[in-house]
Amino acid sequence: MHTYDPALADLVLGSLRDRLSNRPALNHPGEGDKLDRVLAGLIGPEGNDPAEVLRLWTEQVAPTTITVDSPRFLSFVPAAPTQAAALFDALVSCSSIQGVSWLLASGPIAAENQVLRLLADLAGMPAEAGGCFVSGGSAGNLSALVTARDTARRRQGLGPYDRVRFAVSDQAHSSVGNALRIIGVEPFTVPTTDHRLTGPALRAALLADADPSDVIGVAATAGTTNAGIIDDLAGIATVAREFDLWFHVDGAYGGAGLLAPSVRHRYRGIEHADSLVIDPHKWLFAPFDCAALLYRDPRLARAAHTQDASYLDALHTDDDTQWNPSDYAHHLSRRARGLPLWFSLAVHGTRAYGEAVEKALTLARASAALIRNTPHLGLIREPELSAVLFRRTGWTAEDYTEWSARLLAGQTAFVAPTGWEGETVARLTFLHPETSLDMVREIIETMR
């Protein structure tokens, strides 16, 4: 079973080459009963011909996956890994790298840390900033909030069951609220002005509270998922310092905008973050799954996350240069998921990345102008990043749902409706460098 099989390797590598050179169609969701029939009996005591299993995958299973890296996938937050990143991800997968510690993977970890240093520098964080790569924004937010909670409890002499709260806006990503629930921290919800959390609103909410002393931190957003709105990071940072709050920034989607000169000013204040999350598998063209988690003072994360056990003693030394990613998040075992991004950045350079991000921003602005000038459409707000919200005059929620289904059925695009202030609306999110304004025109034409 573990013997190298040249024929099997050639078969799978051939499929990989086909996937890289021939981007598949958008495809359609599968039907559960049909998939059950296709897969029935496939796994049993005896094996199967690998060519037949691969054929089944290619013809029956893969087409039920909506292609997130298609330039016509414009829902949620898409992905568009570079060929360099995708290929290197395959190499990482077959290298069996246990990226938990310096002892086991010093070279890969050093390469990952080079990328983390780049991101920290883009955000203006200090030289000692650092962290690790985790699976996604949810894991990053959870790990950062655990660090914030434990740091506050230690500094304030609180017990493990003493009440603490964390300030969040009503626009924070769902994973932030979920993380707070998991770790037993209550949300202190601050109302937003025009869907943006501001420093004055945070200060006013704290001063109006009967006892704000148990509010230990604030989570700001650098690019909301629905509309790409960047919070008042500078104002929030000022209030965080004033009230001695941990300042967390969720830049899972929007953090890549730090590479784009046209929007860089919107991130003023991010340099004061105590923790920061950016998902390269979104707008930094890495494959799933990859999120960068950075701390202003990594020692605080080590105090919160380092796992102690006799079987882990060999991983921990007094040498601070031996960086263990397991010490900076809730994980232990991990793949070296930052390496595909490292390879792609080394191959293409940061200028190409910045240009690709700017291209999406330019397309969002051009699409907004196109929508604004189309009589039966209404632009909901000018895009700050690459998400564009708009409405079709007279449409109901059912109309948007039917329209979305028609677009996917015709393989024109995948555009899922969203909600905005209680109304169902349309939303386009641009990320893929090959998405064009002509594609947007084609989509808009279907809304007559």
The first and second tokens of residue 221, run together, are 């957003």
Alpha carbon distance 178, 156 (integer Å): 25
Say if residues 49 and 88 touch (Cβ distance below 8 Å).
Answer: no
**pTM across the whole model:** 0.96
Q: Left (φ > 0), alpha (ψ -120 to 50) or beta: where does 298 sit?
A: alpha
Cα gap 90→15, rounded to integer Å: 12
- Looking at residue 24, what is its pLDDT? 80
DSSP H or E run through 148: helix 137-156
Tens digit of pLDDT at every position of the chain (448 positions) = 888 899 999 999 999 999 988 888 899 999 999 999 999 999 999 999 999 999 999 999 999 999 999 999 999 999 999 999 999 999 999 999 999 999 999 999 999 999 999 999 999 999 999 999 999 999 999 999 999 999 999 999 999 999 999 999 999 999 999 999 999 999 999 999 899 999 999 999 999 999 999 999 999 999 999 999 999 999 999 999 999 999 999 999 999 999 999 999 999 999 999 999 999 999 999 999 999 999 999 999 999 999 999 999 999 888 888 999 999 999 999 999 999 999 999 999 999 999 999 999 999 999 999 999 999 999 999 999 999 999 999 999 999 999 999 999 999 999 999 999 999 999 999 999 999 999 999 999 999 8
Alpha helices in 22-71 (DSSP H): 32-39, 50-56
Whole-number pLDDT of residue 40 = 96
State how far the Cα of 5 lies from the Cα of 1, in Å rounded to an integer.
9
Q: Which residues contact 210 (CB under 8 A, 6 or more apart)?
A: none
pLDDT at 407: 98
The count of other CB atoms within 10 Å of the CB of residue 310 is 6
pLDDT the model gives residue 367: 98
